[in-house]
With several copies, the nearest count.
Chain A
Amino acid sequence: MHKNIFIGEICANDEVQKDHFLMKMYLPRTFGAVLPGQFVMVRIAGLTDPFLSRPLSIYSFSLEQNACVLELLYRVVGKGTQILAGLIEGSQLEVLGPLGTGYAMPDTEKNIVFIAGGIGVAPLSLLAEHLCVNSPSCGPNMIFYLGAQSSRQILGLDKLQSLCYAVHVCTDDGSFGKQGLVTDLIRKDIKKYPPGDTIIYACGPKAMLKTLNTILGGKYRCDVSLEERMACGVGACMGCAVAVKEGSGGAAYARVCCDGPVFGLNQIIWD
């Protein structure tokens, strides 16, 4: 059987924080299983404005008797997400996916460290959930660093607290948790996590990942999710390029949509 575009039926779409929405939808069972880190491309059938589908990470996933239930956590930043935010219960979306690669699973690392900036919490939250369910021994090793601009942008905290051993929150303006960037916190804490015994998962703005790369200095096993503008989502258009190191030591452009969105931090070439 061939994969196809699925029709998702929205059953909830609520503003969970200012400009941040949680959308829950039903999909046919044939949508299949999901790996943490994967995403979907969504669009409103028949609408040519906005023209392209929008990539959104899968925030949660579960199977019911007759349906897959998918949750997307998204921030309203432009026309496409604005229109998504306006959809009411019962509306339908075209959903292509699940797309892309997932995060590599931990080996025997003692410390499983998550670092999320803003909406970057979406794929990491699914990963944390996945690890707790499938490798219950992970839970006590999971430490989550959650950064946001202010208390009004903190997302999914309750869930994370129930999953992880510790959740450290910081905000740019200090309105919740520590004041500062999440990378400031990591810079301070990193010595607690010896490279050989630690796996790090990160998702967030480019600037955050770049700083993280400097902090980690190539010494850690670290998977990050990248974002790039996308047209096809399946590897055909070459639109979503990111510069990566090649085996031979050279550079090449990989496709975020199918070679990623998860990449080893050490693979990426930062300009």
Chain B
Amino acid sequence: MEKRKIKSVNPLRVGLAGLRLKNPVIAASGTFGYGQEYAQYMDLNRLGGIAVKGLSLKPRSGNPPPRIMETTGGMLNAVGLQNIGVEAFINEKLPFLRQYDVAVIANIYGESVGEYSKVAAKLSAASGVHALEVNVSCPNVRKGGLSFGADPKAAAEVTRRVKGETDLPVIVKLTPNVTDIVQIAQAVEKAGADAVSLINTLTGLAVDIKTRTPRLKNITGGLSGPAIKPVALRMVWQVAKSVGIPVIGMGGILTVEDALEFLIVGACAVQIGTANFINPHAMIDIIDGLEAYLEDNKLKHIDDLVGTFKT
């Protein structure tokens, strides 16, 4: 009896911050639309979770084009958080997502602390959202200065206010464009964050040497993809050993080997972003690969791998 019970446990199941995932593979915000866009390419039920495109209180039209540019081993984007707004999301997109047995993580964004809390409140009242991911880090849309995520006080303030509006698990998504990401992570932990996710994009620039103008209309954009993986991995490792809350790692993950690196340094789950663009099947391949890795390494459960980095 006992033996059987153990065998039937899903070795990839992850519980983090009150959020139950059938596996630790989550689509990263902004790279998977509202889920629907990729539904014809895979069975969304296979995924651990979906972090939807960042939602704001009102619909946002985003930045003028060109918005993206390829770089060596990655890409720059300056989409400017174009989204349909939280109400349209709840009315038009959530019903679709509710059909699936997948954790829906609503990525949210505000231009002010007040806006963050309003968006959080609306989503908490809706059915079918399993967690909030608070983007304090977007480098594309600035309101006269650094982002919330670059300042421990501002990041903590946003966290506190969002926590006050919701019973959902609150994941704070950190920006890598800081001197000391551990300091920010600890500040939001203290402010009540249930988990942190990192990294968002690194701010970058590309120039057209013929016209001597920026390649992106917004001038700067966010760098993502395998080019940033070493930086992401370093930060995830630093944060994972410095906070008590779960860490979700991302940045440049293309393959199961990449995902394993993040899990080993202490991420309980991973998000897959840019990889979806070049291989819509990437997440499925990674999930299958994780299962195979556990078997090959005779590990009973993914938890036996997380944080086993030997330094």
- Is there a contact between chains A and B in the complex with CB atoms less than 8 Å apart? yes
Which residues of A come within 8 Å of B, CB atoms?
A: 2-5, 43, 48-53, 94, 96, 228-243, 251-253, 258, 271
Is A253's CB under 8 angstroms from B37's CB? no
B53 at interface, CB cutoff 8 A: yes
Q: Other than A49-B72, A229-B67, A241-B64, give 12 A-B pairs with Cβ distance below 8 A.
A: A51-B72, A228-B65, A231-B75, A231-B277, A236-B32, A236-B33, A236-B37, A237-B30, A237-B77, A237-B277, A251-B61, A253-B61
Q: B279 is contacted by which of A3, A5, A236, A238 (Cβ under 8 Å)?
A: A5
Q: Does B246 contact A (CB under 8 A)?
A: no
Residues facing A in B53-93 (CB within 8 A) are 53, 61-75, 77, 79, 82
Within 8 Å of chain A (Cβ to Cβ): is B2? no
**Which residues on B are within 8 Å of A, measured CB to CB?**
30-33, 37-38, 40-43, 53, 61-75, 77, 79, 82, 225-226, 254, 274, 276-281
Closest chain B residue, CB of each to CB of A1: B40
Structural contact, B69 and A229, CB atoms closer than 8 A: yes
Please name the residue on chain A nearest to B78 by beta carbon: A239
B270 to chain A, nearest CB (A): 18
Distance A228 CA – B279 CA, assembled complex (angstroms): 20
Q: How far is the CB of B69 from chain A (nearest CB, A)?
A: 7
| Smallest CB separation, A231 vs chain B (Å) | 4
Determine the chain A residues whose CB is within 8 A of the CB of B68 once the complex forms: 229-231, 237, 239-240
> What is the CA–CA distance of A239 and B278 in the complex, to the nearest angstrom?
14
Residues of B within 8 A of A228 (CB): 65-66
Q: Please classify the interface of chain B as helix (H, G, I), strand (E, B), loop, or mixed, using the class held by over half of its residues.
A: loop
What are 24 contact pairs spanning A and B, CB under 8 A? A5-B280, A48-B72, A48-B226, A51-B74, A51-B278, A52-B277, A229-B68, A229-B69, A229-B70, A234-B37, A234-B41, A236-B31, A236-B33, A237-B30, A237-B68, A238-B33, A238-B53, A238-B62, A241-B79, A241-B82, A252-B61, A253-B62, A253-B64, A271-B64
Shortest CB-to-CB span from A164 to chain B, Å, is 33
- Which of A4, A237, A251 lies in contact with B281, CB distance below 8 A? A4
Asked if A3 and B40 make an inter-chain contact with CB atoms under 8 angstroms apart, the answer reads: yes
Known contacts A48-B73, A241-B62, A253-B62; is A53 also within 8 Å of B278 by CB?
yes
Residues of B within 8 A of A48 (CB): 72-73, 226, 254
Q: Which residues of B contact A53 (CB under 8 A)?
A: 277-278
CB of A255, distance to nearest CB on chain B (Å): 9
- Name the CB-closest residue of B to A53: B278
CA distance A3 to B40 in the complex (A): 6
Which of A2, A230, A238, A253 touches B41 (beta carbons < 8 Å)? A2
Cβ-closest chain A residue relative to B66: A229
A229 to B82: give the CA distance in the assembly, Å: 17
Instruction: Name the one of B31, B71, B77 contacting A51, with C-beta atoms under 8 angstroms.
Output: B71
A59 to B67, CA, bound (A): 27
- The docked-state distance in angstroms from the alpha carbon of A243 to that of B38 is 24
